[in-house]
């Protein structure tokens, strides 16, 4: 093949690679929308068309993993159509698994070493308009490193013209862009349609009073950052604004002795892409909670074997479920009895018959708050990663699943090399930047189904389901190489860091603590051999 033919073939390959990425992103966005609104005929048709295009482009691009997912997705959509467009718990779980698979193939090479590529957070570049063009360009460079395209602007006219020509998915806008509080006025002028307002992340170098923050909200502000634009915080906000971050559907356990009522509740919530499981015998509820791990419980107040308030007390006695939201759904109309029932461990009370939209909104609001609260409780404050205790709990759960399903599982320990020297030479604020940068890079490069924790200090832990030790080492080694290329501006000279890692694979006879010890021993081996490398633990 001549050099020209090779170049043409490469251009064609890249053309279809971009198309695969775009269709994958559309599918993920549609599913995300279904989880925040409702699954409608329009969403089904949009996803069907995108899945057909994904299959076609993936086959042309010779990307078999994506072609297989597209085929399975078309099959699942066909089943939904046969059920008159109605989502069931089975279909929601099937769709969720396909979305997870689609995200995995986009975020890292799979275990068969098929060609992988990074799916960008956004399909279109975001816009950055800061008072300091140098600061804006520096921020743009950092975003580009993490796969986010952006455009910077130095004057208001060029910014407005760009917005009119192509609406960005997100805007980062200085409150004082082109003059004191002129950014607020500029934001108001570009928000032509409140129904499709552009999400704006406002920035202010100095603290802002309540009136400025109120004006920012009225101008479409979805966030407000003061002081330093921290890249990790910024990327999390951008991802949430663009509604492309993948999360698991909410899970609800319905406990009601009436099969007709529980079926109605289940179908209503399924229609909003909420996974629902019904239990008609309340004495089985606790066992189902352990297995199903719901975000929220809906209880009938009057049941023959056990009343709702009695079951609520039983649930609250378990430390694991002490923060679990409980909603009564009952025909009881007496306000005094409702309040008395809620005082015994419940969070809300809905009266039968309930309007479907009312039920869905209540469940979503409670589930969102519960997840946010739980996330704050189990995550490290500096990095947003799972805490030491929670990552070990997740490892324990993953070991149980791996043993049950016969699938591989790897656990990885990472440690930043010579980190004490970084703190001693450049100060603890620079050390925190390095830690947060590695945390963010791990989140960007690993799958959504992988678990990442801060084990302590400069140590990190990774739980990699369905991954053997060899493939885990390849993935981590690639991250190691790329992380070592990051340069941090500092004095007297710029700083670069590296890390060492130890990998251990789960096997029968091991538990979470033994697996963690094996990974720690492998990490010690990597350190002993000279650091900046990955070692695999020997199987016991």
Q: What is the pLDDT of residues 202-255, one digit of tens each?
A: 999 888 889 999 999 988 888 898 887 777 677 777 766 654 444 578 899 999
Across 55-83, average pLDDT: 87
Across 357-370, average pLDDT: 89
Three-state DSSP class for 127? Answer: strand
Residue 278 has pLDDT above 80, yes or no: yes
Q: What is the pLDDT of residues 380-395, one digit of tens each?
A: 888 888 999 889 989 9
pLDDT band at 105 (very low <50, low <70, confident <90, very high): low
Find out whether 250 and 298 touch, Cβ atoms under 8 Å: no
pLDDT band at 474 (very low <50, low <70, confident <90, very high): very high
Q: What is the pLDDT of residues 396-407, one digit of tens each?
A: 989 988 998 888
Across 4-31, average pLDDT: 67
Domain count along the chain: 4
| Residue at 31 is within a domain | yes
Query: Looking at residue 74, what is its pLDDT?
Result: 93
Residue 539 has pLDDT above 60, yes or no: yes
The DSSP annotation for 75-122 comes to HHHHHHHHTTT---HHHHHHHHHHHHHHHHHHHS--TT-----PPPS-
| Residue at 117 is within a domain | no
Task: Pick the closest to residue 433 from 231, 213, 295, 199 (CA basis).
Answer: 231
Across 119-127, average pLDDT: 66
- Which of 319, 345, 376 represents a domain boundary (last residue)? 376
Do 491 and 438 lie in one domain? The reply is yes
Query: Looking at residue 245, what is its pLDDT?
Result: 46
Residue 272 has pLDDT above 90, yes or no: no
Across 276-280, average pLDDT: 92
Do 527 and 404 lie in one domain? The reply is yes
Query: Looking at residue 113, what is its pLDDT?
Result: 34
| Residue at 246 is within a domain | no
Query: Looking at residue 533, what is its pLDDT?
Result: 94
Query: Looking at residue 172, what is its pLDDT?
Result: 92
Across 16-20, average pLDDT: 71
Q: Tell me the CB-side half-sphere exposure of residue 425, using CA atoms within 13 A.
A: 13
Q: What is the pLDDT of residues 258-267, one digit of tens each?
A: 999 999 999 8
Task: Pick the closest to residue 105 from 69, 56, 138, 153 (CA basis).
Answer: 69
Q: What is the pLDDT of residues 316-358, one digit of tens each?
A: 888 778 788 999 998 888 888 888 888 887 888 998 888 988 9
The neighbour count for residue 64, using CB atoms within 10 Å, is 14
Residue 139 has pLDDT above 90, yes or no: no
Higher per-residue confidence, 104 vs 188: 188
Residue 38 has pLDDT above 80, yes or no: no
Query: Looking at residue 508, what is its pLDDT?
Result: 86
pLDDT band at 75 (very low <50, low <70, confident <90, very high): very high
Query: Looking at residue 194, what is its pLDDT?
Result: 56
Do 156 and 99 lie in one domain? The reply is no
pLDDT band at 15 (very low <50, low <70, confident <90, very high): low
pLDDT band at 370 (very low <50, low <70, confident <90, very high): confident
Do 95 and 141 lie in one domain? The reply is no
Query: Looking at residue 290, what is its pLDDT?
Result: 83
Residue 116 has pLDDT above 60, yes or no: no
pLDDT band at 2 (very low <50, low <70, confident <90, very high): low
Calpha distance 214→216 (Å, rounded): 5
Residue 268 has pLDDT above 60, yes or no: yes
Query: Looking at residue 22, what is its pLDDT?
Result: 78
Averaged pLDDT of the chain: 84
> In which residue are the tokens 């499709």 written?
196
Q: What is the CATH number of the domain that holds 444?
A: 3.30.70.270
Query: Looking at residue 115, what is its pLDDT?
Result: 32
Across 160-176, average pLDDT: 88
Do 368 and 401 lie in one domain? The reply is no
The boundaries of the domain holding residue 312 are 251-376
Do 143 and 236 lie in one domain? The reply is yes
Q: What is the CATH number of the domain that holds 63?
A: 1.20.120
Q: What is the pLDDT of residues 81-95, one digit of tens each?
A: 888 888 888 888 888
Q: How far is CA 465 from CA 252, 364, 370, 394, 522, in A?
A: 25, 28, 25, 11, 19
Query: Looking at residue 238, what is its pLDDT?
Result: 75
Percent of the chain with pLDDT over 70: 89
Q: Which residues are catalytic?
A: 458
Do 73 and 170 lie in one domain? The reply is no
Q: What is the pLDDT of residues 406-465, one digit of tens each?
A: 889 999 999 999 999 999 988 998 898 889 889 888 887 888 778 999 998 999 999 999
Query: Looking at residue 240, what is its pLDDT?
Result: 64
User: For 111-120, 224-233, 524-533, which range has the lowest pLDDT when averaged over its residues?
Assistant: 111-120
- Which of 376, 399, 421 represents a domain boundary (last residue)? 376
| Residue at 365 is within a domain | yes
Query: Looking at residue 340, what is its pLDDT?
Result: 86
- Which of 318, 350, 376 represents a domain boundary (last residue)? 376
| Residue at 381 is within a domain | no
Query: Looking at residue 463, what is its pLDDT?
Result: 96
**Measured torsion, CA atoms of residues 422, 424, 426, 432, in degrees rounded to the nearest 10:** 60
Sheet holding 459-465, edge to edge: 451-456, 459-465, 409-416, 499-505, 534-536
Residue 500 has pLDDT above 80, yes or no: yes
Q: What is the CATH number of the domain that holds 268?
A: 3.40.50.2300
Helix (H) or strand (E) holding 152: strand 150-152
Across 356-377, average pLDDT: 86
User: For 161-165, 262-266, 307-311, 444-448, which range has the lowest pLDDT when averaged over its residues?
Assistant: 444-448
The neighbour count for residue 365, using CB atoms within 10 Å, is 12
Do 394 and 509 lie in one domain? The reply is yes
Query: Looking at residue 110, what is its pLDDT?
Result: 36
Helix (H) or strand (E) holding 275: strand 275-279
Do 279 and 309 lie in one domain? The reply is yes
Calpha distance 236→238 (Å, rounded): 6
| Residue at 118 is within a domain | no
Calpha distance 65→265 (Å, rounded): 36
Do 185 and 212 lie in one domain? The reply is yes
Task: Pick the closest to residue 243 from 46, 32, 24, 21 (CA basis).
Answer: 32
Do 179 and 280 lie in one domain? The reply is no
Do 370 and 314 lie in one domain? The reply is yes
| Residue at 121 is within a domain | no
| Residue at 382 is within a domain | no
């Amino acid at each position: 093949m001549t050099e020209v033919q090779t170049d043409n073939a490469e251009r064609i390959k890249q053309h279809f690679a971009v198309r695969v990425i775009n269709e994958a992103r559309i599918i993920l966005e549609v599913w995300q929308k279904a989880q925040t609104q409702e699954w409608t005929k329009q969403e089904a048709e949009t996803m069907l068309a995108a899945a057909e295009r994904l299959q076609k482009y993936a086959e042309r691009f010779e990307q078999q993993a994506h072609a297989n997912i597209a085929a399975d997705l078309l099959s699942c959509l066909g089943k939904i159509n046969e059920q008159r467009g109605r989502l069931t718990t089975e279909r929601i779980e099937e769709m969720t698994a396909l979305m997870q698979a689609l995200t995995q193939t986009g975020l890292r090479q799979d275990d068969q070493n098929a060609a992988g590529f990074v799916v960008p957070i956004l399909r279109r570049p975001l816009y950055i308009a800061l008072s300091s063009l140098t600061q804006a360009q520096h921020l743009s460079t950092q975003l580009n490193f993490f796969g986010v395209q952006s455009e910077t602007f130095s004057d208001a006219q060029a910014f407005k013209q760009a917005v009119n020509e192509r609406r960005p998915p997100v805007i980062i806008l200085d409150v004082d862009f082109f003059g004191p509080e002129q950014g607020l006025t500029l934001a108001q002028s570009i928000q032509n349609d409140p129904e499709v307002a552009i999400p704006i992340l406002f920035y202010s170098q100095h603290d802002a009073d309540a009136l400025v923050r109120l004006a920012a909200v009225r101008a479409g502000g979805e966030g407000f950052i003061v002081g330093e634009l921290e890249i990790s915080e910024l990327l999390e906000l951008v991802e949430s604004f663009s509604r492309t971050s993948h999360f698991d559907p909410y899970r609800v356990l319905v406990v009601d002795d009436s099969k007709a009522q529980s079926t109605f509740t289940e179908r209503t919530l399924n229609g909003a892409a909420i996974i629902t499981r019904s239990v008609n015998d309340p004495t089985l509820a606790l066992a189902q909670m352990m297995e199903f791990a719901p975000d929220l419980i809906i209880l009938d107040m009057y049941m023959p074997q056990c009343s709702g308030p009695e079951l609520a007390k039983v649930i609250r006695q378990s430390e694991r479920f002490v923060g679990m939201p409980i909603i009564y759904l009952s025909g009881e109309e007496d306000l005094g009895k409702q309040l008395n029932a809620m005082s015994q461990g419940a969070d809300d009370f809905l009266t039968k018959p309930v309007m479907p939209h009312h039920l869905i909104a209540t469940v979503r609001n409670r589930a969102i708050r519960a997840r946010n609260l739980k996330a704050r409780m189990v995550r490290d404050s500096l990095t947003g990663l799972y805490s030491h205790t929670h990552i070990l709990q997740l490892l324990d759960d993953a070991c149980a699943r791996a043993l049950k399903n016969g699938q591989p599982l790897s656990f990885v320990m990472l440690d930043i090399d010579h980190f004490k020297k970084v703190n001693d030479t450049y100060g603890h604020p620079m050390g925190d930047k390095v830690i947060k940068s590695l945390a963010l890079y791990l989140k960007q490069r690993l799958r959504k189904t992988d678990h990442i924790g801060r084990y302590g200090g400069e140590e990190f832990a990774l739980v990699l389901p369905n991954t053997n030790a060899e493939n885990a080492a390849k993935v981590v080694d690639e991250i190691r190489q790329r992380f070592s290329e990051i340069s941090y501006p500092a004095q007297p000279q710029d700083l670069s860091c590296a890390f060492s890692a130890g990998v251990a694979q789960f096997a029968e006879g091991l538990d979470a603590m033994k697996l963690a010890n094996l990974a720690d021993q492998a990490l010690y081996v990597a350190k002993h051999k000279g650091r900046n490398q990955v070692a695999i633990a020997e199987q016991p």
